[in-house]
Amino acid sequence: MEFNILILVIIAAASVISNLCITYFIKQQSNYDVNNKSTGISFSSLSNRFYNVNRFENIIVLTRSYLLRFSLISLFLLIVAVLLYGDMGLSIEFLSKFILLNILLVIGVVDFFAFKIPNKLIILLFIYLVIIQVFNVSNTIVINLIATILIVGLFLMVNVFTENRRGKTSIGYGDIKLIGMLTLIFDVPLSIIGIWFSALAALPGFYFLKLVNSKFRYSPKVPFGFFIFFSFSLIIIFQDYILELCYKYGV
C-alpha cells in the first residue's frame, strides 16, 4: 500500500511540476513574441482572441484548455510510470528515466505551442547529464562526445548550405542543441535511431497536425522538438528491446 501511494505521489508531483514548467515557458515565450511583434501562437494569444468576449466565458475556455493539458500529461506520465516500473521496479534507474522523460515532455509540449526550445531547458538536460555521470560513470561518454560533435556539425553544415541557397534554415538551432544533448546522454546506436525515427515521424506527423489543428494549417514551422520528444520517449521506455535488436543485427 505504501509503495502504491509513493508511486502515485511521484506521478502527481511530476504532473504538477511539468505543467507549471510548461505554463511558465509558454508564457515567457509569449511575452517575447509580443515584445518582438512575432506571430507565434501561445496561450496569451489565445486569451487575446477572447478579449471582446464575456470575461467569464474567457475564463471557462482557458480553464478547459489547462485542465485538458493537465489530464493528458498526467495520463502520459501514469502510463510511462507503469511501463518503467514493470521493467525495473522502484529504483534509481526508474527515477532517472522518469525524470528524463519529464524534461523531454516539457521540451516537446513547449515547442509544440511556442515553436521554440528555451535554452534553460537545454541547460536542465546538461545538469541531468552531469548528475548521471557523477553517480553512474559511463565509459561511452568520450564516444558520445565525438558522435555529438559529428552530428551537430553535420546539422550546422546543412543549415549553412540551406541558408545560402534558400535564405532559411532546415532545422532550428534549438532542435540542434536538443539533439546534441540527447546524443551525449544516450549511447550512439540509440541516439542515431532516435534521430532517424524523429525525422521519419516529423513529416507525416506535421501534415496530420495541419489537418486536425488550424494552428498548423498555414504555418511553415515544424515543432520538431515535439517529435524528438515522442521518439526518444519510445527509446527510453523500450531501450532494452531496441538494444537487443541492435546487437542482433549488428548495428
* Rounded percentage of the chain residues whose pLDDT exceeds 90: 22
Q: Which three cell numbers stand for residue 235?
A: 527509446
Q: Is residue 229 scored above 90 in pLDDT?
A: yes
Q: What is the mean pLDDT of residues 214-235?
A: 84
Please, what's the largest Cα pairwise distance for the chain? 63
pLDDT tens column, 46-103: 444 444 445 555 555 556 677 888 888 888 888 898 888 888 778 888 889 999 999 9
Which residue, 209, 39, 27, is CA-closest to 118?
27
Cell 560513470 maps to which residue? Answer: 137
In this prediction, residue 29 has a pLDDT band, given cuts at 50, 70 and 90, of confident
In this prediction, residue 227 has a pLDDT band, given cuts at 50, 70 and 90, of very high
pLDDT tens column, 190-202: 888 899 899 888 8
Q: What is the pTM of this model?
A: 0.81
In this prediction, residue 139 has a pLDDT band, given cuts at 50, 70 and 90, of low
Cell 532546415 maps to which residue? Answer: 170
What is d(CA 71, CA 74) in angstroms, rounded to the nearest whole number?
5
Least confidently predicted of 11-15, 59-63, 116-120, 196-200:
59-63
CA 5 to chain centre: 28
Environment class of 125 (CB within 10 Å of its CB; exposed 0-12, middle 13-18, buried 19+): buried
What is d(CA 128, CA 238) in angstroms, rounded to the nearest whole number?
20
